[in-house]
């Protein structure tokens, strides 16, 4: 059972706007999350400077542009979650995976350093799969 968090804002959007600077303030840019991330190997950044990459993470969370290594890293986040346990500030409340996710959103929407990858066929496609297989009753009751 995952106990859900007490709401800290009126909307998800407001929460993210609040959480980014809070998490950035807790982050010391030590590079531990970057070192623990298995996706770093996939994007050829294992030899990169983890401290610089995580300094960029803090910048993104504050809505500021980040270096290319940070952008490539947050863009490749696959939610492995190994950063969470690796973060030395976790006991202080720093959820490293959430920080990376917020940084990625900022790179998409604020600094525009990542291109938006909108798939307009996502919902229409799953609806067709549903209609192929579900009974009328299932369509009515489940969706």
Partner 1 sequence: MDVGADRVTFWFGCNMLRHAEMIRLSIMLLERVGYDVSAAGGPAYCCGTAHDHQLHGASNMAQRTVARFNAAADKEGRGTVVTWCPSCHLHMSDIMSPGNAAAFEIAHITELLADRAERLAPLLHVAVKRRVLLHRHVGLATHVAVNDRVAGLLSRIAGLQLVPGPAHPGHMCSALAAVPGALAKAARETWGTAVAEGCDTVSTIFHSCHRELAALEGKEGVHVRNWVHLVAEAMGLEASDAYLGWRTGGAPDIAAIEKADEAKYHALVEPELRKPPPA
- Report if residue 130 touches partner 1, rule: CB under 8 A: yes
Instruction: Select from 26-34, 54-62, 63-71, 111-119 the region that touches partner 1 (CB under 8 A).
Output: 111-119
Is the separation of the CB atoms in 77 and 36 below 8 Å? Answer: no
Task: State how far the Cα of 138 lies from the Cα of 65, in Å rounded to an integer.
Answer: 47
Of 3 and 91, the one with the shorter C-beta distance to partner 1 is 3
- Report if residue 47 touches partner 1, rule: CB under 8 A: no
For residue 89, give Cα distances in angstroms to 31, 109, 131. 12, 27, 48
Look at residue 52 and give its three-state secondary structure.
helix
- Report if residue 97 touches partner 1, rule: CB under 8 A: yes
Of 47 and 137, the one with the shorter C-beta distance to partner 1 is 137
Is the separation of the CB atoms in 122 and 79 below 8 Å? Answer: no
Token pair for 57: 């993470």
- Report if residue 19 touches partner 1, rule: CB under 8 A: yes
Contacts with partner 1 by CB under 8 A lie at 1-16, 19, 38-39, 42-43, 75-76, 78-82, 84-85, 95, 97-98, 101, 104-105, 108-109, 116-119, 121-134, 138, 141-143
């Amino acid at each position: 059972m995952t106990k859900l968090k007490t709401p800290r804002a009126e909307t998800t959007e407001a929460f993210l706007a609040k959480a980014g600077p809070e998490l950035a303030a807790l982050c010391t840019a030590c590079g531990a999350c970057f070192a623990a991330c298995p996706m770093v190997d996939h994007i050829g950044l294992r030899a990169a400077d983890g401290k610089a990459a995580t300094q960029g993470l803090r910048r993104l969370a504050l809505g500021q542009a980040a270096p290319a290594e940070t952008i490539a890293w947050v863009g490749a986040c696959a939610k492995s979650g190994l950063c969470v346990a690796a973060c030395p500030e976790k006991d202080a409340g720093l959820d490293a995976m959430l920080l990376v996710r917020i940084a990625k959103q900022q790179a998409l929407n604020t600094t525009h350093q990542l291109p938006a990858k909108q798939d307009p066929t996502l919902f229409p496609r799953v609806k067709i799969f549903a209609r192929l297989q579900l009974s009328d009753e299932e369509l009515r009751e489940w969706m």
